[in-house]
Amino acid sequence: MSWALLLGLLAALLLLLLLSRRRSRRPGEPPLDVGSIPWLGHALEFGKDAASFLTRMKEKHGDIFTVLVGGRYVTVLLDPHSYDTVVWEPRTKLDFHAYAVFLMERIFDLQLPHYSPSDEKAKMKPTLLHKDLQALTEAMYTNLRTVLLGDATEAGGGWHEMGLLDFSYNFLLRAGYLTLYGVEALPRTRESRAQDRTHSADVFHTFRQLDLLLPKLARGSLSVGDKDRVCRVKGHLWKLLSPARLAARAHRSKWLGSYLLYLEEIGVPEDMQARALVLQLWATQGNMGPAAFWLLLFLLKNPEALAAVRGELEQLLSRTEQTVSQMTTLPQKLLDSMPVLDSVLSESLRLTAAPFITREVMVDLAMPMADGREFSLRRGDRLLLFPFLSPQKDPEIYTDPEVFKYNRFLNSDGSEKKDFYKDGKRLKHYSMPWGAGHNQCLGKAYAISSIKQFVFLVLVHFDLELINPDVEIPEFDLSRYGFGLMQPEHDVPVRYRVRP
């Protein structure tokens, strides 16, 4: 080893030791666990399998503790009765956006100098509600039909084989993209629809390459080869979603119009706008496909559940005057009358939605717990809720929490079940796939109606089967804890054909 290298290593070690001057727990603070590696603390275990690591920490310290993770002190709160206080704290105390801005830069190379999250939110929120929501839902139905039925017809009759994740993610993202970012032309023609299918497939396949590398990108652990690939893929996505290209598209959503206007108002140049649009593609489309994958897989593995959903849909259709092929939209009233499918969706999300609900601690803070205890949080630390462990997988709340029970969110009279208990007390938050409070997902209603429309179209128009009916439900890709919906370690082969 050369002297220069040795000196370099010693300097790095010294720096690490200086940086990691250990802090000690002050009275009133949660239990502190800094691990054994200076500065890194528990970063390796956390990144490898956050759910197992946090479960171990909970067994050791209880439902609130502070851990050192890559130079940051993160206070983890796992008592669902205490979540409500956190999610309603004002931004001046617990801030959602600081971490989002950090990820924006690290993953999407995005810098927005005059960015104001609250202005952005004020402009975007109305575009996902009320009349605009209805317009999105209608456009989504049309676009889902274009990609789903069009692709199948183009491919000819008979069975087609594909992975179920690929199937769900592909069709939902492509239709979602066309809905938000616009279509080739209006009125639609046979040629413009074909163009929509080709272009959206290009967007999906390019996006998916980035999506697969996202956990490594967020942790800064890409190999040299991965870095090259990420560069190429991002470059292609920036071109596909450049404002100049989007300007030529028809039937663009209000959501897109308002977002572009906001970026222009704060003086974002066009090349940076394209990056922002790629970030939005991920934020709006990255979870729906995986959610639909798990839902369909649970149905295919549970014949009783599938029969119950089919029964519900057939009953609804028998009450409408049009046949399915005549229906150009799926009215909201119909979408709102599917309690069995709603329960299946809630149960699927309970088992597979694992976002980190992260807030930056902006000032020294006293945090009251629901049981009367109070803990001090330090300014500059990060607070993390992980509802996946509790409430979602908590055996005190859900019997056999690992098991998919399609009617878990149904009362015996068929209405939605909303009462779940822990320590004898009713829970306000018994599942949190959408977050909660000030920063609850703005696209929740649109996402739910999109997933339901997709499942409706698949079940009504296709025969869909597992190629191996005995296939096991795959394990999670453990590197994806924290990003939203989990993805499987590997895909599950299915075959499908258009129903005669």
Applying CB under 6 A, the residues found at the interface with ligand HEM are: 96, 121, 128, 283-284, 287-288, 291, 353, 355, 357, 433-435, 439-443, 446-447, 484-485
Q: Is 252 annotated as a binding residue?
A: no
Nearest residue to ligand HEM, scored by beta-carbon proximity: 443
- Using an 8 Å Cβ cutoff, are 450 and 176 in contact? yes
Instruction: Decide whether 128 or 144 has the Cβ nearer to ligand HEM.
Output: 128
Cβ at position 443, least distance to ligand HEM in Å: 2
**With respect to ligand HEM, which residue has the nearer C-beta, 45 or 179?**
179
Minimum CB distance to ligand HEM smaller for 121 or for 422: 121
Q: 109 vs 120, which CB is nearer to ligand HEM?
A: 120
- Measured CA to CA, the distance from residue 317 to residue 270 in angstroms comes to 47
Least Cβ distance, residue 436 to ligand HEM (angstroms): 6
Query: Which residues does 62 contact at the CB level (< 8 Å), separation at least 6?
Result: 31
Q: Residue 395: count other Cβ atoms within 10 Å of its Cβ.
A: 10
In the structure encoding, which two tokens stand for residue 147, read together? 């990609």
Does 173 show up as a binding residue in the annotation? no
CA distance 141 to 137: 6
Which residue's CB is nearer to ligand HEM, number 230 or number 237? 237
413-421: Cβ within 8 A, 24+ apart: 414/339, 415/339, 416/339, 416/342, 416/343, 417/343, 420/391, 421/397
Cβ count within 10 A of residue 240 = 21
How many CA atoms, within 13 angstroms, populate the side-chain half-sphere of residue 55? 9
- Is 106 annotated for ligand binding? yes
143 known ligand binder: no
Contacts of 117 (CB under 8 A, 6+ apart): 96, 97, 100, 101
Smallest distance from the beta carbon of 227 to ligand HEM, in angstroms? 28
CA pair distance 427, 447, nearest whole angstrom: 24
- In the complex, minimum distance from the CB of residue 434 to ligand HEM, in angstroms, rounded to a whole number: 5
Q: How far apart are CA 136 and CA 141, in angstroms?
A: 9
Q: Is 468 among the annotated ligand-binding positions?
A: no
Compute the least distance from the CB of residue 291 to ligand HEM, in Å: 4
Could you tell me the smallest distance in angstroms from the CB atom of residue 126 to ligand HEM? 12
Which CB, 283 or 460, lies closer to ligand HEM? Answer: 283
Q: Which lies closer to ligand HEM via its Cβ, residue 401 or residue 443?
A: 443
Non-local (6+) Cβ contacts of 266 within 8 A are 112, 113, 114, 115, 116
Token pair of 382 as six digits: 């990060």
How many helices and strands in the chain, by DSSP H and E? Answer: 18, 13
Q: From the CB of residue 424, how many other CB atoms can be counted at a distance below 10 Å?
A: 6
Residues making up the annotated binding site for heme are: 441
Annotated binding site: 106, 112, 287, 382, 441
